[in-house]
Amino acid sequence: MPTPPRANAPAVTDGGLFLGLISGTSADGIDAALVRFQPTVQVLFGRTYPLPEALRAQVLALSQAEARISLDDVGRLDTRLGQAFAAVALQALADAGVAAADVAAIGSHGQTLRHDPNGDAPFSQQFGDASVIAERTGITTVADFRRRDVAAGGHGAPLMPAFHAAVLRAGDEDRAVLNLGGIANLSLMPREGTVRGFDTGPANGLMDAWCLEHRGQPYDRGAAFAREGRVDEGLLAGLLAEPWFALPPPKSTGRDQFQLQWLHAHLGGQSPADVQATLCELSAATVADALRREMPACARLIACGGGVHNPLLMQRLAARLPGMVVETTAAHGLDPDFIEAAGFAWLARETLARRPGNLPAVTGARGPRVLGAIHAA
């Protein structure tokens, strides 16, 4: 792919255009969101671009806890993911009709392969070489957002509560934002006081993996697979007994913890459809339990991420949260599919303005930190 001609980059101002990129724990594609933040947040363009199938298969295989990879393979995967992210950035700008010279910066989350903030050498590892992205697009690229927070004693996750609070907090009610990606996480936004956030456990990741294994489909469209089965209460109780669910915030997790190997250890002859129905109920139950425990006065749950398209999951959330409004960010003028990508565009803006992007009450870090590494155009 030829390198685009370089132009004088626009001044990095809060009113400029920013492009956010992320491939989440489901690894189903790269989300791109072109965002302007003034006078209000506007997602001007959003689209999901599939990862090349061979690359996706490699990412999913290496996301399993027992996976092993050589240093040579690490380097190649990092470069190939960087190339894929760069190609998506250029294609998104072409599809949006926007020149690279008009974009202040790219905020790239990359692809998480390992996340272990609790060990004696804590780390969070995202692949997708940002030097490749900056070189191929000619746009300043900010990436590697999580590791500074981890270095400061935090989990490096979740990072979206600061963005959620900036755009969706209200002064007249307690609200929560729920991101339903591969992993579910909550941002708790009281009318007054400290914003908090944490992962609650699997959202789509286990359901997608089970559906792929048994139906050959990357996700359960319309929850059709889950609706063929029934919740197995014994299996659900066994899954809910996982000690991680009882840990207090701050906490975070990933696909390397909640994956098929973990699930298979709990199975005892259930039908595939019953397992799918139970996994859907597990996602709803862990979110609802955590929300009731940590913010019992919450009046409104605002959901985003791919899980909003699972009608059974949304129904079960509403059933487990009676008296609470359960809606999506679409009710607030923001496309639920591109909130996280928009959030990384916002984090790039905060980094370039030398403003902290983490919330210590969310991640457990020792204090606010400017996040990310800047790769100049």
Under DSSP, the state recorded for 19 is E
pLDDT: is 11 or 153 the higher one? 153
pLDDT tens profile 231-276: 999 999 999 999 999 999 999 998 778 999 999 999 999 999 999 9
Q: What is the pLDDT of residue 202?
A: 97
> 319 pLDDT exceeds 60?
yes
From the CB of residue 177, how many other CB atoms can be counted at a distance below 10 Å? 28
Lowest mean pLDDT among 1-15, 33-47, 90-104, 315-329: 1-15
Q: What is the CATH number of domain 170-336?
A: 3.30.420.40
The predicted model gives 174-192 an average pLDDT of 96
| Segments of the chain assigned to CATH 3.30.420.40 | 17-157+337-375, 170-336
Q: What is the pLDDT of residue 65?
A: 67
Q: Which two tokens stand for residue 162?
A: 């600061």
Instruction: Report how far residue 105's alpha carbon sits from residue 86's, in angstroms, rounded to the nearest whole number.
Output: 13
Beta bridge partners of 111: 23, 127
Query: pLDDT confidence of 5, banded at 50, 70, 90?
Result: very low
Q: What CATH number matches the domain at 17-157+337-375, 1.10.1760.20, 3.40.1160.10, 3.30.420.40, 3.50.50.60?
A: 3.30.420.40
Closest CA to 186 of 154, 157, 216, 228: 157
> 9 pLDDT exceeds 80?
no
SS3 of 292-357: HHHCCCCCEEEEECHHHHCHHHHHHHHHHCCCCEEEEHHHHCCCHHHHHHHHHHHHHHHHHCCCCC
Tell me, yes or no, if the pTM score tops 0.85: yes
Instruction: Report how far residue 92's alpha carbon sits from residue 74's, in angstroms, rounded to the nearest whole number.
Output: 27
Instruction: Report how far residue 197's alpha carbon sits from residue 209's, in angstroms, rounded to the nearest whole number.
Output: 26
> Is the Cα torsion angle 51, 53, 58, 61 positive or negative in sign?
positive
pLDDT tens profile 337-374: 999 999 999 999 999 999 999 999 999 999 999 999 99
pLDDT tens profile 134-145: 999 999 999 999
pLDDT tens profile 199-234: 999 999 999 999 999 999 989 999 999 999 999 999
Q: Which two tokens stand for residue 7?
A: 């132009």
Q: What is the pLDDT of residue 256?
A: 78
Helix, strand, or coil (residue 322): coil
SS3 of 35-92: EECCCCCEEEEEEEECCCHHHHHHHHHHCCCCCCCCHHHHHHHHHHHHHHHHHHHHHH
Q: What is the pLDDT of residue 6?
A: 46
Q: Are the CB atoms for 201 and 247 separated by under 8 Å?
A: no
